[in-house]
Amino acid sequence: MPDVNAKFSFIKNLILRVDLVYILMILVSLILLSFRFRRRFKLTRKELSGQREKNKISEVSYQDDHEINKLLRELNKTLSWSQNAILENQLHRNRLEDILDSIMIGVLAFTHRGQIIFMNDAFRKIFRIESQNIENQEIYKWIHFPPVISDIDNFLRDITLPEINNTIKFYDDSFIEYRIFRQKSREDADQIYLISVRDVTRLRQLETVRRDFITNASHEFKTPLSTIKGFTETLLSGTVDSKDLQIKFLKKIERQTKHLENLVSDILQLAKIEKKNISDMIRINVKSMIEELVEEFIPLVKQSGLSIEFDSFSEDSESQIEANPDTIRIIIANLLINAIQYNKPKGKIKIRLRQQSNFCVFEIEDTGIGISKKDVNRIFERFFRTNDARSIYAEGTGLGLSIVKMFVEMLGGEIWVESEPARGTTFSFTLPLTTTELPEPVPDLLSTELSAGIARRQKILVVEDDRDLALLLRRQLESEGFQVLLAGTGEDALWLAREAQPQLITLDIMLPDVDGFAVLEKLKANPMTRGIPVVIVSVLAESEKGFALGAVDYVVKPFVEQELLDIVHRALAYLETSRPRKLVVADDDLEALGRMEQALSLHGYEVWTAADGQEALDRAQEIQPDLILLDVGMPLMDGYEVVRKLKKDDRTRPIPVIVATDSPADREQERVRVLGMDIAEYLTKPLSIEILIREIKKVIAEKVSG
């Protein structure tokens, strides 16, 4: 029995020792496994920390453990979903910011603590803020206009105020209109405050012009009407028995009636000009026209006891201008009538013509009463007349010189005056000469359809509100042989583009009535103007936006003259030699595909899209495009497989291919070199519309020239 107990005790101790060994082995294994998992998870954690620091999400690396890889696979799916969600949110934010940047109303969003959330370009322009990175900064750091700051403080303090509206004089005699209000938001969302502001200077000026016109017109009508009414009542009363006195009164009524007739005629003439209604443009021989007008005015000149002389340049008696004959007669007749009416007894009138560069210069000089220095600057204002002029010729309307100025400018010229009181006045104006190559008759300037057989100078529409710069651009372009039309507002630009059908438009962005980008959008939306190439000339360096909306090039002010001329010649040359180019664009990102299709269509390309590699291949074989733009990572068939099949087919082998990739271009070039493919260009995403357009033009040009 003792032996049995001893054996049982021995077995028991042996089992305990074995259990202890197993436990130790398990503990050691667990420790080793924990170290192993800890090291692997540490690597993954380090990789994720690196992505966070670089603000970039990508897949984490897989390891040599099956179970851990299952976990990492799920983690990568979550990361991919998060990345897509972030990109989608960023896309929506960028789209919203682009929309807000494209409107002319300034918008600022801020928190109740006065921290800036968002500010659009129009707001920056109005408040002259150049910095772009101002999010989360204090609003008071950037806005210093006291009335606006005061209204913001009051609105933040008083929660009962629904909104604040104000119109106030701003800097440099400008006016702004602004509104401060709260965004309607969910109960759990932080309150957001908004300021919308717009520059109403132009509206105030137009209102002032309208009010002054009504006041002046009312005054000009009331004065002769009062005179007519008074003399008519006197005659009707029967108190005037003298026949001579009756005739005298009737002559006064006749003179005032004539004044009213002239006034109505001039106002109608102004209305016609403001509608840009000049038609029947023909070539006119300048010298012959002046000689005819002088002959017509000689009886009136002699009757007034004056003399008239006409001197013309001798080097080219056949020089011609392109204009409406009646318009030219109105311009010169108005100036001649002034020279006759306000001249001294036995005074002289001299008409001189001379050629200066590509312009004909007209000068009409008199020896009359002259104009004082303070009145010279106002002489072309509507209804303005000097006191001396009123005393000499009371029936004048004060609209004649306004009409002359508007007609001259519509015909592409300038007008100015030089005068000295009691010594005389010289009115000078220029009109562009027409080259002798122009055939007769020249079609209407506003014609939208020109005969293919009519050879005429290429028309360029210059849209620029700065008059000095507009005239400078006109001279530069006319020196290159172009015919130049000028527009100072967006509305005029759209009208002239439709009616005159220029071969090219240069477009300023900061126009007084509408944003230049909005003008560009309207030009591209109208079938009549969609095909006209537009070169943006602006101080705003927003070329990417311009290219996205359809501009063929972008010049930032200030610029070198030759730079602009080169761009104009290049754009016109491309227009003359090009037909609508066919493109196949393939990308599995449908949103990006839609943006590229829209932008390329605005640039005159015929675009076919494909959402996968097989569809891209089918499109290429069916359409035979001029160029194919391929995304590398597409479903069903990747970009490289598409290229391989394209290059094997004799029909599609010559088609140039541009590859778009998320990887660095040099890495993809090496891969294609190894695969022996022939690819025209490599672009790295995200794609810039500006770069994309330039590369497409370059590749197609190389294909055509090669």
Instruction: Examine the domain organization and report whether 286 and 420 are in the same domain.
Output: yes
- Encoded amino acid at 303, one letter: Q
* Final residue of a structural domain among 139, 173, 199: 199
Residue at 369 is within a domain = yes
Please say whether the beta carbons of 170 and 145 come within 8 A. yes
Instruction: Examine the domain organization and report whether 481 and 572 are in the same domain.
Output: yes
Instruction: Examine the domain organization and report whether 592 and 666 are in the same domain.
Output: yes
Residue at 97 is within a domain = no
Instruction: Examine the domain organization and report whether 493 and 418 are in the same domain.
Output: no
- pLDDT digits 0-9 by tens, 345-389: 889 999 998 888 788 899 999 998 888 888 888 888 776 777 666
Signed CA dihedral, 136, 138, 141, 146: sign only: positive
Name 617's Cβ contacts closer than 8 Å, sequence gap at least 6: 637, 642, 645, 646
Give the CATH number for residue 223.
1.10.287.130
119-133, 256-270, 288-302, range with the lowest pLDDT: 256-270
- Residue 471 CA to residue 299 CA, distance in Å, equals 38
- pLDDT digits 0-9 by tens, 69-79: 666 666 667 76
Give the CATH number for residue 171.
3.30.450.20
Residue at 517 is within a domain = yes
3-state SS class at 220:
helix
* Final residue of a structural domain among 199, 230, 252: 199
- pLDDT digits 0-9 by tens, 54-67: 566 666 666 666 66
Residue at 267 is within a domain = yes
Please say whether the beta carbons of 461 and 492 come within 8 A. no
- Residue 66 CA to residue 59 CA, distance in Å, equals 17
Give the CATH number for residue 689.
3.40.50.2300
Instruction: Examine the domain organization and report whether 75 and 6 are in the same domain.
Output: yes
Name 689's Cβ contacts closer than 8 Å, sequence gap at least 6: 544, 547, 548, 596, 599
Residue 418's pLDDT band, with cuts at 50, 70 and 90, is very high
Residue 487's pLDDT band, with cuts at 50, 70 and 90, is confident
- Residue 96 CA to residue 79 CA, distance in Å, equals 25
Tokens of 662: 């998320």
> What is the domain range of residue 299?
282-434
Residue 38's pLDDT band, with cuts at 50, 70 and 90, is low
- pLDDT digits 0-9 by tens, 234-279: 788 887 788 888 888 888 788 778 777 777 776 766 666 655 555 5
pTM (whole model) above 0.75: no
Instruction: Examine the domain organization and report whether 573 and 586 are in the same domain.
Output: no
The residue ranking higher by pLDDT, 126 or 663, is 126
* Final residue of a structural domain among 21, 54, 88: 88
Residue at 194 is within a domain = yes
Instruction: Examine the domain organization and report whether 230 and 258 are in the same domain.
Output: yes
Instruction: Examine the domain organization and report whether 290 and 430 are in the same domain.
Output: yes
Let me know how long the chain is.
706
Question: How many domains does the chain fold into?
Answer: 6
- Encoded amino acid at 437, one letter: E
Torsion angle (degrees, nearest 10) of CA 562, 566, 572, 576: 140
Neighbours of 391 (CB within 10 A): 10
- Residue 553 CA to residue 538 CA, distance in Å, equals 11
Instruction: Examine the domain organization and report whether 73 and 153 are in the same domain.
Output: no
Instruction: Examine the domain organization and report whether 496 and 475 are in the same domain.
Output: yes
Instruction: Examine the domain organization and report whether 290 and 418 are in the same domain.
Output: yes
